[in-house]
Amino acid sequence: MASPMRIRARAQGDVADVRVLMAHEMESGARKGSDGKLVPAWFIQEVVASHNGKQVMVAQWGPAVSKNPYLQFKVKGAKAGDKIAITWKDNKGESRTDEAAVA
């Protein structure tokens, strides 16, 4: 199982600034290992963000995203105490969901 995401969400007025650091190897499939063979592709394909259970953002990613990706976005209508949930799914079928409260 993947490590937990680090999610920080801070409200300023009615807008929350959300910052997410995801732990994932993100292999492109183009790199060769020490044995000279290609390392299989393994990357996050979809990231979904929810605010109090309502989907507010979807991102479609590919193999060009770096290892341990960082994502930042804003959510209108958020206030302190609201829940922000982030879910990612990768090309091997693995997924992870974590949530944090808006501060």
* Tens digits of residue pLDDT in 6-48: 999 999 999 999 999 999 999 999 999 999 999 999 999 999 9
- Domain hosting 33: range is 6-101
**pLDDT at residue 98 is higher than 70:** yes
Q: Is residue 51 part of a domain?
A: yes
Which CATH number belongs to the domain containing residue 70 in this structure?
Answer: 2.60.40.10
Residue 86's contacts (CB-CB under 8 Å, 6 or more residues apart) are 5, 7, 20, 22, 47, 48, 49, 50, 71, 97, 98, 99
Alpha-carbon gap, residue 68 to 5, rounded angstroms: 10
In a domain, 49, yes or no: yes
pLDDT value for 2: 72
Is 89 inside a domain boundary?
Answer: yes
Q: Is the residue at 87 inside a domain?
A: yes
**Domain count across the chain:** 1
Q: Give percent of the chain with pLDDT exceeding 70.
A: 99
Judge if pTM exceeds 0.85: yes
Does residue 1 sit within a domain? no
